[in-house]
Structure 1
């Protein structure tokens, strides 16, 4: 579900920063701590896990389910909250699995990452990915069988991406599919919870029929919302494949065209809130994409990926507000309240 995942292709990563050791070289602090035989503090262990799980990017996840509920024309309910919990677990599972799968590449390109630096063992990362996946599926099951039916292919897509697809041309499509499925899971879980609530207030015969009936197929607004979110994810992932070596102008230009299209649609909507949210989305993503298109250097490409990730929250808010449901506007404004927190966390832990 991650938008713009770290190093989706072979050889990509974060450019070497001033003062950082060359690839494969010693990691400051890590070697000295081991040589002293000292054990890391609880704060250091928490910091390592926060870095492994890209905790600053997790705030881009709840909006998937909330936007799905709004696109369905419903208020967030118990099912929506369960979908949010399942989404967060599956997202973090993907982060842990990503670093486990890339541990050999990280040893050469990003020795400061938690696994190659020795702060987290490969076994611990794989165990976390497995446990988080199981927990996410269990939480989705609590939201109902229809929600679980979406969560299973979502989890499969996350694992397939991390274990192989990210090194192929199917990588961006896999990430786009994961984000789209995440929104669909929120819409489905919300519909299921609402159906159960209606069944409990109906006569016994009607309640039984309603409770056992399958959830209705996602309406067109939900599918359109999933397609927009998936397209943004595809664009950011395509740009992220050039983070290390740069050189691609086509990927950021394509992403810039998508951002302009979505922003123009928000303006055509005519409502003040959607126009404002469209402007926030465009401003967040378009500027770094334009810079990367004009100068496709590794640093500017990496900034473009970060901008694309940060733009997910305004995009989710825009999708919710455009639903036309009164709760959609409230959801959109609530999601925008997460932007300052996400920005603050990104200064402490990189989202890529």
Structure 2
């Protein structure tokens, strides 16, 4: 039997698995490379205390996922009743408290790892995430606000030398915009034009990443990116149904790591590590169980 916790909002025991599902725990793998890329471009390696910056990034990501489910609890009761809050596995009150605890842990970790610069960067991420989940998600500005969250995550790794990391942060933000635009139709389906537009955005992301890296050092990661995201977009263009679009979104989320790998080509070992992680996650999300981001 799985471990259980007490949901103080309902008094019922809840399996730890419900909390992991609420956090979308595996999806945090896609943010770990943000800080690594920022650090590489800023010339500030993730050594010593700064090694904890990816953990801070993951904690803030998880807090955003929980807040997202809390904000969407009424919609999910209709569209995704199996999610932890509408299914009754986790109460709304417990979920918002959990999100606050994860946020506090992320801010504390960022401060310990990056000092006042880390706290400032993590604070900006927190505000941007809250703005997306609570205000901007269903507006025209939604994809850009989500893009801003990932842009700021790269800045967390860059620290005070953030200007040097503006290019990779923008590229990662561009890929995030593409996924967010695509995800808006993962419940209803779309016209074929949507996957075509997103495909163009993905091509621009890859080209920008390649151009920003001298020589062809990013080529292996670019190949992983094409393999990871391309087939899903092609299928979505052929049949833009809700089911196929959800699969393409999952592929897009996994391919974020390949984008990070392209941008980490200045540090070959980091690039290859991220490529391996991208391949592994892409194979995982090909399974029937979804790894959601929105």
TM-score by length of 2: 0.87
Q: Which residue of 2 aligns with 1:286?
A: 230
Distance 2:162 2:65 in 1: 30
Aligned pairs (5 A) from 1:81-230:
81-142=51-112, 143-188=114-159, 215-219=160-164, 222-230=165-173
Q: Given the alignment of the two structures, is residue 304 of structure 1 paired with residue 248 of structure 2, yes or no?
A: yes
- Over 3 Å counting, the alpha-carbon distance change for 1:144 and 1:348 in structure 2 is farther
Secondary structure of 2:191 counterpart: coil
- Over 3 Å counting, the alpha-carbon distance change for 1:136 and 1:266 in structure 2 is closer
CA RMSD of aligned residues (A): 2.1
Distance 2:31 2:51 in 1: 12
Q: Which residue of 2 aligns with 1:239?
A: 182
Q: Which residue of 2 aligns with 1:202?
A: none
Q: Which residue of 2 aligns with 1:209?
A: none
Aligned residues: 278
Secondary structure of 1:244 counterpart: coil
1:288 deviates by 1.1
Instruction: Return 5+ residue gaps in structure 1 as ranges.
Output: 1-38, 189-214
Instruction: Return 5+ residue gaps in structure 2 as ranges.
Output: 1-11
What is the aligned counterpart of 1:339 among 278, 286, 290?
A: 278
| 2:34 and 2:153 in contact (8 A); partners too | yes
| 1:51 and 1:349 in contact (8 A); partners too | no
1:295 deviates by 2.2
Q: Which residue of 1 aligns with 2:9?
A: none
1:52-84 superposed Cα distances (whole Å, 9 cap, x missing partner): 111221111111111111122343213532221
Secondary structure of 2:51 counterpart: helix
Q: Which residue of 1 aligns with 2:6?
A: none
What is the aligned counterpart of 1:350 among 278, 290, 294?
A: 290
Distance 2:187 2:172 in 1: 25
Secondary structure of 1:168 counterpart: coil
User: Is the deviation greater in 172-181 or in 99-108?
Assistant: 99-108
Distance 1:164 1:100 in 2: 13
| 1:62 and 1:87 in contact (8 A); partners too | yes
| 2:255 and 2:278 in contact (8 A); partners too | no
Distance 2:198 2:256 in 1: 13
- Over 3 Å counting, the alpha-carbon distance change for 1:344 and 1:281 in structure 2 is closer
TM-score by length of 1: 0.74
Higher relative contact order (CA 8 A, sep 6+): 1
Distance 1:279 1:246 in 2: 28
Q: Which residue of 2 aligns with 1:275?
A: 219
Secondary structure of 2:185 counterpart: coil
| 2:28 and 2:58 in contact (8 A); partners too | yes
- Over 3 Å counting, the alpha-carbon distance change for 1:115 and 1:317 in structure 2 is same
